[in-house]
Amino acid sequence: MDPCRNELIASLGPKARNSLLALGAPAHLTLSQVLGEAGGPLRQVHFPLEGFISLLAVVHETLAIEVGMIGTEGMLGASLALGVARHPVRALVQGTGTAWRIPAPAFRAELDRSAALRRVISRYLYVLHCQQASSAVCLRFHVIGARMARWLLMSQDRAHAASFRLTHEFLAYMLGVRREGVTQAAGTLQRQGLIRYQRGEMQILDRRGLEAAACTCYAAEQEIYSDILRA
């Protein structure tokens, strides 16, 4: 298992990277596993190596909407860089995989020691805030089909595969709509030959077509990733 599959870890120099990795160990991420609740204590940080994590704003137990997504480009627990050891939203595993897990106190101490780590995490926090702002705009102004195309592209980017597990429940989180709206939007994309969705298995058939169907938020976010994280 290569920890450098995570882009934040890979972006560190050898000394800072080895010091960080010595604090943690690999951990398995299970589909629908809750890694943190909004306002709850942040005891561990996770750097995904495979799979991905949904960030959900929860109104109450039966109502939630996805406001962000974390894959190999990021980490869960970046708020520690702001001195806050609480989860701002619910963190739910959307794609099974593995992560490099580090106890929060050890990570916070490493932030104090390592200027290189602070710089990387600060840049990631900016990107994450941009993603969440974009999600709010997308929900308010863009139609369901374009929003679904955007979220499917984001999911594929983090799954690193043309097919992945995706339930109606997660699709509803993505779009902030009822299951009927999910079924209708997925059906439209399927009839256009862009995806195949059956029994919880999502397959991207036409990546370029899906990019054309997505709202402008997706391309804007990719540009931010390139400018800030991959520069």
Check: CB of residue 71 under 8 Å from CB of residue 225: no
Residues 6+ apart with CB under 8 A from 137: 217
From first CA to last CA, the distance across the chain in angstroms is 26
Where are the chain's structural domains?
Answer: 3-138, 143-214
- Of the candidates 184, 183, 185, 205, the residue with the CA atom closest to the CA atom of residue 194: 205
Tell me whether domains 3-138 and 143-214 share a fold.
Answer: no
What average pLDDT is seen over the chain?
A: 91
Check: CB of residue 162 under 8 Å from CB of residue 204: yes
Rounded average pLDDT over 89-94: 94
- Of the candidates 175, 187, 178, the residue with the CA atom closest to the CA atom of residue 144: 175
pLDDT at 181: 79
* 101-153 pLDDT tens trace: 999 999 999 999 999 999 999 999 999 999 888 888 888 888 888 999 999 99
Tell which phi-psi region holds residue 228, choosing left (phi > 0), alpha (psi between -120 and 50) or beta: alpha
Check: CB of residue 215 under 8 Å from CB of residue 150: yes
Q: Which CATH architecture has domain 143-214?
A: Orthogonal Bundle (1.10)
pLDDT at 61: 67
The number of angstroms, rounded, from the C-alpha of 12 to the middle of its chain's C-alpha atoms is: 20
CATH of domain 3-138: 2.60.120.10
Widest distance between CA atoms in the chain = 54
Distance (Å, rounded) from C-alpha 194 to C-alpha 155?
Answer: 15
* 146-166 pLDDT tens trace: 999 999 999 999 999 999 888
